[in-house]
Structure 1
C-alpha cells in the first residue's frame, strides 16, 4: 500500500523566515475553517518565542495538497537548539532549506544542513526575501551549491530544485524576476521532488523523537512509524536506553492534521503520529513488537559545551516574588526538563541545593532560566563556564566559528575586540555595504563579547557563531576590566547619595529601588570592587542654604537582559533570577567574608 505522504523539515538560519513560510503554506491550504483549540507544543513556549521572534521547540503541522498529505516540521535555527534539530530530522524524508536573498548561507544554516545531508535527505532550496533591496539571489544560489558540495552532498542532493520568492508577500517562483500569485510552485515542488514516505512491512517499530504533555492524558510520545503498523489498544514493547524492555499497551493514536491532531484507529509506516498510554519513556526509546522487539539505533546528540551552577535563591529578598523556592522544586523542575530537552544534562553536586546544568551555549541555558522564572521559580545561577576536555594528556577547549557582519568604518574595532580574546581572523570580504568577517575563537572568548561589539559598533553588528571542535587550550583571555560597585547596606537607594557617587561608575539601580548589602549595584570606573552606601539621605538643618540646592541630575540606570547579565557576572558573583527581577550579587554578601575568602584564594 503506497501512502501519499511527504515528510519535510524546514531548516534555515535564525530570522530567515521559516515560521512565516509555514504560516503561508497553512493559509494556502485553507485549513482555518476547521481550526480548533488544542493542547500542543506551541503553547509551551509561546510567549518567549513570540517576544524573541525565534523558534525554540520544533512544531508539527500538516497540510493537504492535490491528494497528498504534507507533514511539515518547523525547526529552530539557533545552533544552541541543535539538539532539537538533530532529533526531528529523523522524522523527515526531505528538507526545505530557506536562505535569505541578501545574507546568503549563514553559519547556523551550515550546522543544520550538515546534519540533513549526512542523513541523506533530499533538499529543496528556497531563496527567500527577494523583494529586499540590494538582494543577490543568483550569488546566493551559487553559495548554497558550494556549501552543499563542501559538506559532502551526493550528486542526487546537489541536483536540487531552487525556488525564489517572498514568504512575507506570499509568493514563490522558479525565476526571481517573475512574481507569481501565490506559493503553489513551492507545494508542487514538494510533491514532485521529495520522495514519498516509504512503506516498510514487518513487525512495528517507531522511535520516539519528541514528546508532548497534556493535563488530561499525561505524556504523549511523538515519532515516525519506521516499519509495520501500530493499532489502537495493541500490546507493544518499549526498548529503553539501558537495554531493558517494558511491556505496555497503546491507548490512543493521533495523527497531525492541519494545526491539530486527529484520532485514528491505526497508523502505518511513514506517518508521523502521537501515542498516549505509554508510560516512563524517554526520547530515543523504540516502540517495538510485543513478542519480538527490535530496538532502533539511538539518536546521537552533540555534547554540551557549557555549564552553569544552579542553586536556590538565598538572598535577603528570597521568597518575596516567586512561588517555587525550595531545592526540591528546583531538582524536580530540572529533571523534568532533561526528559524533553536532549542537549541538556544535569549533575548533582556535593551540596543538596546546588546543581550543575550543562547546555549548548548561553542562549540554550538562558531560555531554560527564562522559562523557569515565568513559571514562578526563584533561582540563582553562577557564571557560565566552558567545558574543558583532556585529550592525550593535553587540555583542550571548545572553539567556535564566529561570523560578524559590520559597517566598514567599525570593522577595525571588531577585529581588535575579537583578537584580544584569542580570536583568529580567517576571512574578511565586502558583502553589500557591510564588511563580512569570520573568526575562529575559543568559546570562553565569546562570553561577554556581544555587549562589547554592539557598544563599539553602535548596535550595528550582526553576530553568529557555531561550535567547530575541541582544540588545545589557547591560554588566558582577559575578562571584564572594570570592578563592581557593591551596596554596603539594605534598603532603598536615595537620589541624593547616588548623585554624589555618579563619578564612581555606572549604576544598575534607580533611586527608590530596594537593594541589599552585597548586591552589585553598578560598574566601577576602575578595575577594583568598592563598597558604597547609597541609602544615606541628606542631612537636614533649619538653616537656609546660601543660594539654592543644586537639582539632582541622575543618569538613568543601565538595563541588562538575562543573557547580558549572565555574560556580565564575574567568578565571585551570582545572578539572582525571580519572576519580577534580575539582580547581580556577590557570592559572599558580607564584606569581611569576601576579604577573608580573597586572602585564602591568594594563599
Structure 2
C-alpha cells in the first residue's frame, strides 16, 4: 500500500488508540511562491524527524505525490503530514504557491495556527507570496519568515528581509505579526539557522516552530469541527478532513452535519483517524486543536460544520475568491471521436465535472442550452488546464473552447478582472517586454533594477494575459520570469489585439505526407509530422500571414517511369512545433477549439466544414455591423 493510505498501521505500541493531548500539538502551514523551495523544506522536516527508516528509499519531493505535480515541479493539491519533535506533534500543511490554486490555500489555512513564509534570497516576495500571506494575516496566524537559497550567487538576504517587512506592513499586519522571527538557510543543503552562519541541520528552525507557533486556541463547549478538505479511499468512500476547534469527537458519536444552505443532517461517526508521518492512524477520540479525518459521513461538502446534536452551532462558511475565467467544455465531436478515450459521452463529462466541484472550491460548473456542453468557471488558465490534463489522463475525451474572462456589470457599466503582473527580465529585453504589455492595455507601475535584472510591475486586464507568456518568452529568448495575481474588477479597457497570424487548415481526412508538408513549409510553421492522422478542419500549421488558408497536406508524390536529376532528393522537413495544453489554450481564437484525448491534443476549427465556417463568419460580421 502507498504511504498515507487509510488503515496503514503506522504504530504498533499499546497506546495506538489513545486520544491526543491538546497541549502537545502545533499546526503549521508552509506558504511560498512557486519554486521557492517549499516542498524541499517539507522533505527536510520529514527526514529530520525520522519519519522514514534509515534504509528506506524516499527520493525527493515526497509530498508532491501526484504525477502532474512532479512533472511540472509545482504543488497543486494541499497535503498534510504529521511529525513528532521533542515529544510535540507538529501537523505540517503543504500549500500550493500558485494563485490559480488559491481555493486550496484559503480553506487549508483554517486548519493552521501559524505559518512559515518561505522566500527566495534572490527573488524576494513575489505576487503569489503576497496573495497567500494576506489570507494568513487576515486569519491572525503567527508568521515565521524563512529566507531560503542563501547559498546561491547574487543572493541578497538583508534586502529581502527588508522587502518582507515592507510587505507585512503594506498588508496591515498587527504589531505582533510585524515582530516576526527570521531564519536563513538552504533547503537543498539541509540547514536553517537564525543567522547567516551555516549549521549542520534544520533543528534551529524546528525549535523556532515550538517556540513561536502558539498551541491551538481551544474554547470550552461541545463539539465543533469545520470540514476544510476531502480525501477519498476506494474502501471507505469520501472522508472529511478538518480541525476540531471545540470539544472532542469520538468514534461512533452521533453528530449534526450543518450545511452552508442551512440544512442539518443527523449522522454518526464510524471511524476516526489522525495524521502520523505520511499516513494516518486510527483513534477512538480526537481532542480540540488536532486535525483529523472522519469516516462514515454522507452528503457533506467543504465548509460544512460537524456539531454536537444537542447543541447545534455552525462555524462561519469558508469564503473563496470568485473565479475570473470561463471555458466551454463539450463532448468530442471530431471524426476521431471515441478512438482514444474510455469516457466520451456527455453524461460521463457532466458527472466528472460535478465530482470535481466537490473538492475544488474555486471551480463552478453550469449547464448550457446544449446538453453536450458545460460552462466551467475557474481561477485562471493553469487552474483549468490542470483539470483538463487530469481528466485526459483518466481516459476522458472532450473539446474545450477559448478561455474567456468573466465580465460583470457594475452600476450599469462593463467591468473586467485586472491583474498585477510582475516580470523579471535581463535589462536588454526590458523595452520589448514593456512594448508587449502596453500593447495589451497594461500600465507600468514599477521599474527598478535588481542586480543584472530589470524588475517591472504592471496593471493589466486579465484578457491581456491570454497568449502573453508565449510571446514574451519568444521576445526574450526564454529569459523572462513572469508572475501575476488577480487584484480587482475595473472598467472595460476596450479591444485587445489577439493573434496576428492566421492558420493553415486541413482540407482532407487522411494521413499527412512528407511530400505535401515539404511543399508548404514556406507557408507556415507546422504542428504535425508526416504520417500523422488528421481530419478536415484540423489546424495543421500557423500561417506566416494574417488570415486562414485551407491546404492539402495529404497528397502523395506521383510516381513516373522517368527520374529527373535532383527531383528525388530527400525532403528536408523541420520538426513540428510541440505545444503544451496551456499554450494551445492561449493560442486559439473564438472560432477554434481544442480536442483533448488521452494521447492527443489537436487544435481545430469549431465548424469543420469550410462552407459552414464561411456562413458562420458572415453571420458574425452581420451581428457586429448591426
Match 2:404 to one of 367, 379, 385? 385
Q: String of CA shifts for 1:446-500, please: whole Å, max 9, x gaps.
A: 0000000000000011000000000000010000010110000011111111111
Contact 1:59 1:74 in 2 (8 A): yes
Q: Distance in 2 between matches of 1:158 and 1:126?
A: 14
**In the aligned structure 2, how far is the partner of 1:558 from the partner of 1:69?**
51
CA distance in 2, matches of 1:544, 1:112: 69
Change (3 A) 1:67 1:120: same
Structure 1 distance, partners of 2:158, 2:387, is 40
Output aligned runs, 1:264-279, within 5 Å.
264-279=283-298
Q: Which residue of 2 aligns with 1:517?
A: 536
CA distance in 2, matches of 1:463, 1:43: 26
What is the aligned partner in structure 1 of residue 227 from structure 2?
208
> Is the CA contact (8 Å cut-off) linking 1:105 and 1:140 kept in structure 2?
yes
Pairing partner for 1:419 from 424, 438, 455: 438
Distance 1:499 1:264, change over 3 A: same
Q: Who is 1:94 aligned against?
A: 114
Structure-2 change in CA distance of 1:336 and 1:86 (3 Å)? same
Q: How far apart are the structure 1 equivalents of 2:159 and 2:465?
A: 30
**Partner residue in 1 for 2:3:** none
- Which position in structure 2 is the counterpart of 1:137? 157
Q: What whole-Å deviation, never above 9, does each CA across 1:211-233 have from its counterpart, x for those lacking one? A: 00000000000000010010000
How far is the alpha carbon of 1:198 from its aligned partner? 2.3
CA distance 1:488–1:125, change in 2 (3 Å):
same
Residue pair 1:35, 1:259 contacting (<8 A) in 2 also: no
The answer as to whether partners of 1:3 and 1:199 remain within 8 angstroms in 2 is: no
Residues in 2 aligned to 1:548 and 1:184: alpha-carbon distance in whole angstroms: 73
For the residue of structure 1 that corresponds to 2:460, the secondary structure is: strand
466-475 or 541-550: bigger deviation? 541-550
Q: What are the equivalent positions in structure 2 for 1:17-416 lying under 5 Å apart? A: 17-33=37-53, 46-176=66-196, 178-416=197-435
Residue equivalent to 1:15: 35
Give the secondary structure class of the aligned counterpart of 1:32: coil
CA RMSD in angstroms comes to 1.4
Alignment of 1:490-529 (within 5 A): 490-529=509-548
Q: Given that residues 45 and 57 in structure 1 are in contact (C-alpha distance below 8 angstroms), is that contact kept between their aligned partners in structure 2? A: no
How far apart are the structure 2 equivalents of 1:257 and 1:507? 52
Match of 1:532 among 541, 547, 551: 551
Shift of 1:547: 4.8
- Change over 3 Å in CA distance of 1:35–1:306 after alignment to 2: farther
User: 2-side partners of 1:345 and 1:44: how far apart?
Assistant: 25
Q: Taking structure 1 as reference, are residues 534 and 192 closer, same or farther at Cα in structure 2, changes over 3 Å only?
A: same
CA contact (8 A) 1:519 1:589 kept: yes
Runs of 4 or more consecutive aligned structure 1 residues displaced over 6 Å after TM superposition: 34-37, 42-45
Q: Name the CA shift for 1:44/1:293 in 2 (closer, same or farther; >3 Å).
A: farther
CA distances 1:430-460 after superposition (whole Å, capped 9, x unpaired) = 1121111110000000000000000000001
- Which consecutive residues of structure 2, in runs of 5 or more, have no partner in the other structure? 1-20
Following superposition, the deviation at residue 551 of structure 1 comes to 2.9
Alpha-carbon displacement from aligned partner over 1:566-599 (angstroms, at most 9, x marks no partner): 1001100010000001000000000011111111
1:464 partnered with 2:483: yes
Quickly say closer, same or farther: Cα 1:268–1:547, change in 2 above 3 A: closer
* Corresponding pairs, count: 598
For 1:435-450, list aligned pairs within 5 A: 435-450=454-469
Asked if structure 2 preserves the Cα contact closer than 8 Å seen for 1:199 and 1:268, the reply is: no
**Secondary structure of the corresponding residue to residue 291 of structure 1:** coil
Structure 1 residue ranges without an equivalent (≥5): none
Q: Secondary structure at the match of 1:337?
A: helix
Equivalent pair of 2:247/2:288 in contact (CA under 8 Å):
yes
How far apart, CA to CA, are the structure 2 residues paired with 1:397 and 1:4?
A: 48
Q: Is the 8 A contact 2:398 2:596 kept in 1?
A: yes
8 Å Cα contact 2:39-2:64 kept in structure 1: no
Question: What secondary structure is seen at the aligned counterpart in 1 of 2:23?
Answer: coil
Alpha-carbon offset, residue 544 of structure 1: 2.5
